[in-house]
């Protein structure tokens, strides 16, 4: 009798083990076959969109989880205030633009706000952007186009980050600016803080040479400027003092 009971218990154990194993296989097969999961709502601090080989395609993150720029396969410190948004990456895994936004309000009621959608030149910094910035009711918004160096950005900014902050770094940045390696704004079209609508065209050094604007009172004006920003010709021409 005892031998038969031991045999039955052993068979039950084997049956239980086999059943558990079969159930685990079925569940795992179900998860493996599942291609997508549907969520009604999800709270997350960062989402990484990646290719099959793990390369980043896009990152959505809050300000604290926003990654530093990756250029030429190397990470550089992000400049300015970190903001929530999205960062785009090219086929090599380098940062290729993004969308950021945010605002800050001070105890005294003053505030700053802004948002940018930027697209980077290949191996370089932003070359096209839609930007908005505001400080205490003074607003600037429009389309901006930058001219960028043909040099890869890591060759330009690498030595800057390798130089400690101080006079030497300041002199290096000034030298890069004079050489045109840091780029320049070539075109802006939008509205200015003085509530004028403006089209501004600049030379390769970023000097504005032509503006077409309508001021807050509705007065139109076209201005031609020299490389120092001085008006050399305007339409309509300024009033003739002799005729006044």
142 lies in a domain? no
Query: Is residue 130 over pLDDT 90?
Result: yes
Rounded to two decimals, the pTM is 0.77
pLDDT band at residue 82 using 50, 70 and 90 as cut-offs: confident
Structural domains in the chain (count) = 1
Query: Is residue 22 over pLDDT 60?
Result: no
State residue 165's pLDDT score. Answer: 86
Query: Is residue 154 over pLDDT 90?
Result: no
Minimum mean pLDDT range among 69-73, 81-85, 217-221: 69-73
Handedness of CA 180, 181, 185, 187 (dihedral sign): positive
Minimum mean pLDDT range among 60-69, 139-148, 160-169, 228-237: 160-169
Average pLDDT over residues 229-237: 93
10 lies in a domain? yes
* Tens of pLDDT, residues 25-77: 555 655 555 567 788 999 999 999 999 888 889 999 999 999 988 888 878 77
Q: Which of 21-25, 79-83, 157-161, 234-238 has the highest mean pLDDT?
A: 234-238
Handedness of CA 226, 192, 145, 236 (dihedral sign): negative
- Domain span at residue 5? 1-34
Query: Is residue 95 over pLDDT 80?
Result: yes
Residue pair 154/95 in contact by the 8 Å Cβ criterion: no
DSSP string, 14-82: HHHHHHHHHHHHHHHHHHHH------S----SEEEEE-TTS-EEEEEE-GGGPPPPEETTEE-PPPS--
Q: Is the preceding omega at residue 236 within 30 degrees of 0, hence cis?
A: yes
28 lies in a domain? yes
9 lies in a domain? yes
6 lies in a domain? yes
Q: Where are the beta strands (DSSP E) in the chain?
A: 46-50, 56-61, 70-71, 74-75, 85-89, 95-105, 111-120, 126-135, 138-147, 184-191, 197-202, 208-214, 220-225, 231-235
1 lies in a domain? yes
70 lies in a domain? no
Average pLDDT over residues 132-143: 95
Average pLDDT over residues 205-230: 96
66 lies in a domain? no
- Reference 191, options 218, 166, 214; nearest CA is 214
Task: Give Cβ neighbours of residue 190 (< 8 Å, ≥ 6 apart).
Answer: 140, 141, 142, 143, 144, 197, 198
- What angle separates helix 153-162 from helix 167-179, to the nearest 10 degrees? 160
Residue pair 103/114 in contact by the 8 Å Cβ criterion: yes
Torsion angle of the four alpha carbons 102, 136, 210, 207, in this order, in degrees rounded to the nearest 10 = -70
Minimum mean pLDDT range among 18-27, 78-87, 119-128: 18-27
More confident residue, 143 or 155: 143
């Amino acid at each position: 009798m005892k031998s038969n009971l031991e045999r039955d218990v052993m068979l039950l154990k084997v049956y239980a083990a086999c059943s558990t194993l079969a159930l685990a296989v079925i569940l795992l097969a179900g998860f493996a076959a599942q291609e997508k999961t549907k969520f009604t709502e999800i709270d997350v601090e960062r989402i990484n969109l990646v290719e099959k080989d793990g390369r980043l395609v896009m990152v959505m993150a809050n300000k604290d989880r926003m990654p530093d720029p990756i250029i030429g396969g190397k990470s550089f410190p992000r400049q300015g205030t970190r903001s929530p948004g999205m960062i785009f990456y090219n086929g090599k895994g380098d940062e290729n633009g993004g969308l950021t936004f945010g605002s800050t309000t001070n105890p005294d009621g003053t505030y700053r706000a802004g948002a940018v959608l930027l697209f980077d030149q290949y191996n370089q910094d932003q070359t096209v952007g839609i930007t908005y910035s505001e400080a205490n009711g003074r607003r600037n918004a429009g389309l901006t186009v930058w001219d960028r160096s043909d040099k890869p950005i890591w060759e330009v900014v690498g030595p800057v980050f390798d130089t400690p902050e101080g006079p030497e770094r300041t002199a290096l940045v000034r030298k890069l600016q004079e050489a045109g390696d840091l780029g320049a704004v070539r075109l802006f079209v939008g509205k200015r803080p003085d509530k004028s609508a403006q089209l501004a065209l600049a030379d390769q050094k970023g000097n504005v040479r032509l503006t077409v604007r309508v001021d807050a009172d509705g007065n139109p004006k076209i201005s031609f400027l020299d490389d120092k920003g001085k008006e050399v010709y305007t339409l309509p021409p300024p009033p003739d003092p002799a005729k006044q």
